[in-house]
Chains A and B, each alone.
Chain A
Amino acid sequence: MKLNLKKIFVTKMLVGLCTIAFLSSCVNDQSDKKYNDTVDIPVNQEMTAELTSPPFVPTPIGKRMAKKLIVDLEIQEREGEMTSGVKYVYWTFGGTVPGSFIRTRVGDEVEFHLKNHPDNKLPHNIDLHAVNGPGGGAESSFVAPGHEKVFSFKVLNPGLYVYHCATAPVGMHIANGMYGLILVEPEGGLAPVDKEYYIMQGDFYTEGSYGDRGLQAFDMQKAIDEKADYVVFNGHVGAMTGDNALTAKVGETVRLFVGNGGPNLVSSFHVIGEIFDKVHVEGGSLINDNVQTTLIPAGGAAIVEFRVDVPGTFILVDHSIFRAFNKGALAMLKVEGEENKTIYSGEIRDGIYLPEGGVIQSMPTAGNKTVKEEIKALSFEEKMQFGKDKYMATCLACHQANGQGIEGAFPPLAKADYLNADVNRAIDIVLHGKTGEITVNGKNYNSVMTAQALSDEEVSNVLTYVYNSWGNSKKEVTPEMVKAVRNQ
């Protein structure tokens, strides 16, 4: 009897186990089912999409099933800062340039709510390159100020896509910042990495030239001529430098979602001192390995991935290089961690090699062009402010935000003995450039500073700012002093 009972129990157990196995295989069948056509992927449940401002991206989709995804995006026309002292009226998706990052997976049915803030002056719409349909959604999303349009689409193709406004005049809407990225992850998501960031390049056209103070209006003629005053990452100069730099640790893999809003220029995206281990070419499914510079068309994108092996500051640029150092297309990735001398030794030896002689490079000067009357600083405070703005626009790239320089390459200005020793020499270097070896705070530097095309007023402002910052000797430099050195 006992035996019998046991038998029955065992049988029951077996049946039970089988049932569980059977059921679970059923469940597995459902989640692992492959669809030949992404159109057939069913959706269950509804969720509100997480939207993020650059340079951040929403949580990866991971293993989640396709869902009905609600995207709520508000259009705002608002004033912002292009660079220190320069204001610009941006038109934005979600209040930032580029607009909020949207993260989806194949098969998601996106219900898009496009809201045009009541204070806005213009109607707008949205064309998402991830949409299969006329106008990419533009024709169903044309929305008046103070209204909301709703349309929906199913994402079928994995990849990284640009979205932008397509209301007449399209170029102007894009030139004012109306673009962003939407990511469509494949089934199961992209392979996990340690850090992910969102970067988008754009070119801007202003009435004044680079650095001209005040509120700068959009210049249609320059836009048509494709003569950009600013080429920037994430909407303004210095969006990701200094304290706002991207960060990572040695050994981590970094994935950048890089887009190009245009309106006109194509980007030669490059990270100084890194090689892209992997590039999803043009944001699509083709993967290229070991890439130095990847081309990102206007209205296109790319996903780049690389492992950072050594600590230091890595500079992200558009390698059409004048855009990086003269128009703003420069960002920084700061990597912390242990040195690895095998991968990168640092400087070993410094010798002199000057076969062509030390020719000082110079910037072209305005010639006999009439110079517009410049705004003069009226007080010491104003002088400091103007000087700081000029410093941020002109000197920052090499001498860094707090004058700390970069050891071995760019001498420091903070608490710098070389600077404080001789004011006329400092003026001379700003005016005429400097080549050759100097010693600053006990360290040797042997590089080139170009002559700067600045007015007497500007030189006096920027040097006064430098002398009155970061523990320097608090000298005030006047335009007359600059003039005296210039006329020597």
Chain B
Amino acid sequence: MKIYSTALFLLLSLFCEVTAQNDKMVLVKGGVYLPLYGAEDKVVKIEPFKMDVLPVSNSDYLKFVQENPQWKKSNIKRLFADESYLTKWKNDETFIGLPNAPVTTVSWFAAKKYCECQGKRLPTMDEWEFAAMANEDVPDAREIETYNQYILGWYETPKTYNNPIGETFKNYWGIYDLHGLVWEWTLDFNSVLISGESRKDVDKDSNLFCGSAAIGASDLMNYAAFMRYAFRGSMKARYSSQNLGFRCAKDVEN
């Protein structure tokens, strides 16, 4: 019986209601960038893509579970989300907090499914990092001190997940909340493996620290980025977290 229901669930999971909601997206033109984990000469090319202007909100997510009941708190399969899934929701259809606060405590499977139901997908880690390099004025603000101080300051501010979406700064691409609100799932969040023992990572994979970059006092940006990679490294696809939400992205149709 259990096997049947799981199979049925998996089958059902292939289909879902496609209702576009809060679907405002902007174009991120793409380009090349040197990620934190890359070697000096290994720049990554980002194809143009579209990204949601805002993270998914509590009310967006409520609509999703109403239309796709197998993702409700009481119906979710443990394979797809552990006990912390929607942990602070009072019941299947009652969230706690503001309707326009970002939805958090959702697993990667749930986030991925949500985006698929919108005809979208989760952004890749490189896409996310590329879009998030921007401040208000320039597409790559990683060398700018105020940009890094802002991010580090946010990492230290408790309970920002209670804030409404769209109230941090609008970046160069027109996207809000990449920094300052909650962490966000990416499609390949676990592709850079950080053991969490950062000193060990130093000798295991020197690419992670690309030579002098980790040592240089000017490289505040690495501290900020490191904490993101460390956070991602601590997660598994079925985990959820109070400070972790998501948004969707999409390929550009030719």
A residues with a Cβ closer than 8 A to B are: 77-79, 89, 118-123, 125, 127, 134-135, 138-139, 141-147, 166-170, 172, 176, 217-218, 220-221, 224-225
**Min CB gap A208→B, angstroms:** 13
Inter-chain contacts of B230 with A (CB < 8 A)? 122-123, 167-168
Q: Which of B117-125, B151-159, B245-253 contacts A (4 or more CB under 8 A)?
A: B151-159
Inter-chain contacts of B196 with A (CB < 8 A)? 123, 125, 138-139, 141-142, 166-168
* Bound CA span A78–B201, Å: 28
Chain B contacts with A in 183-200, Cβ cutoff 8 A: 183, 194-200
Whether B84 lies near A118 (C-beta < 8 A) is yes
| Given A145-B241, A146-B241, CB of A121 within 8 Å of CB of B195 | no
In this complex, what residue of A is CB-closest to B155? A121
Is B220 part of the contact surface with A, judged by Cβ < 8 Å? Answer: yes
Whether A125 lies near B197 (C-beta < 8 A) is yes
Taking A121-B155, A142-B197 as known contacts, 20 extra A-B pairs with beta carbons closer than 8 A to each other, sorted by chain A number, are A77-B158, A118-B84, A119-B158, A120-B243, A121-B160, A123-B196, A123-B234, A127-B197, A134-B197, A135-B197, A144-B236, A145-B241, A146-B240, A146-B242, A147-B239, A167-B230, A168-B198, A168-B201, A168-B227, A217-B156
Is B213 part of the contact surface with A, judged by Cβ < 8 Å? Answer: no
* Bound CA span A118–B155, Å: 15
Is B223 part of the contact surface with A, judged by Cβ < 8 Å? Answer: yes
Whether A135 lies near B242 (C-beta < 8 A) is no
* Bound CA span A220–B152, Å: 9
* Bound CA span A217–B159, Å: 15
| Interface 1/0 per residue, B96-111 and A, CB below 8 Å | 0000000000000000
24 contacts between A and B (CB under 8 A): A89-B156, A118-B87, A123-B196, A123-B233, A134-B200, A135-B200, A138-B196, A139-B195, A142-B195, A142-B196, A142-B233, A144-B236, A145-B241, A145-B243, A147-B239, A166-B196, A167-B196, A168-B194, A168-B196, A172-B152, A217-B149, A217-B153, A220-B220, A221-B220
In this complex, what residue of A is CB-closest to B154? A121
What 5 A-B pairs have minimum CB-CB distances, sorted nearest first? A142-B196, A123-B234, A168-B198, A144-B234, A139-B197
| Interface 1/0 per residue, B40-79 and A, CB below 8 Å | 0000000000000000000000000000000000000000
Inter-chain contacts of A120 with B (CB < 8 A)? 242-243
| Given A118-B87, A122-B230, A138-B196, CB of A176 within 8 Å of CB of B156 | yes
**Min CB gap A142→B, angstroms:** 3
How many chain B residues touch A (Cβ–Cβ < 8 Å)? Answer: 37
* Bound CA span A242–B199, Å: 41
**Min CB gap B41→A, angstroms:** 24
**Min CB gap A92→B, angstroms:** 12
Inter-chain contacts of B220 with A (CB < 8 A)? 220-221
| Given A118-B87, A168-B198, A170-B198, CB of A224 within 8 Å of CB of B155 | no
Residue among A119, A141, A217, A221 making CB contact with B242, cutoff 8 Å: A119
Whether A119 lies near B156 (C-beta < 8 A) is no
* Bound CA span A284–B151, Å: 41
**Min CB gap B80→A, angstroms:** 16
Residue among B200, B233, B239 making CB contact with A146, cutoff 8 Å: B239
Residue among A122, A142, A166, A221 making CB contact with B155, cutoff 8 Å: A122
Whether A79 lies near B158 (C-beta < 8 A) is yes
In this complex, what residue of A is CB-closest to B158? A77
| Interface 1/0 per residue, B102-146 and A, CB below 8 Å | 000000000000000000000000000000000000000000000
Residue among A119, A122, A172, A218 making CB contact with B159, cutoff 8 Å: A119
Inter-chain contacts of A127 with B (CB < 8 A)? 197
Is B217 part of the contact surface with A, judged by Cβ < 8 Å? Answer: yes
| Given A77-B158, A146-B239, A221-B220, CB of A169 within 8 Å of CB of B197 | no
Inter-chain contacts of A217 with B (CB < 8 A)? 149, 152-153, 156
**Min CB gap B147→A, angstroms:** 13
| Interface 1/0 per residue, B160-177 and A, CB below 8 Å | 100000000000000000
| Given A142-B233, A218-B152, A221-B217, CB of A78 within 8 Å of CB of B158 | yes
* Bound CA span A125–B87, Å: 23
**Min CB gap B143→A, angstroms:** 14
In this complex, what residue of B is CB-closest to A89? B156
In this complex, what residue of B is CB-closest to A117? B242
Is B231 part of the contact surface with A, judged by Cβ < 8 Å? Answer: yes
Whether A89 lies near B158 (C-beta < 8 A) is yes
Whether B241 lies near A144 (C-beta < 8 A) is yes
* Bound CA span A146–B234, Å: 11
Inter-chain contacts of A147 with B (CB < 8 A)? 234, 239
**Min CB gap A63→B, angstroms:** 37
Inter-chain contacts of A220 with B (CB < 8 A)? 152, 220, 223
**Min CB gap B192→A, angstroms:** 12
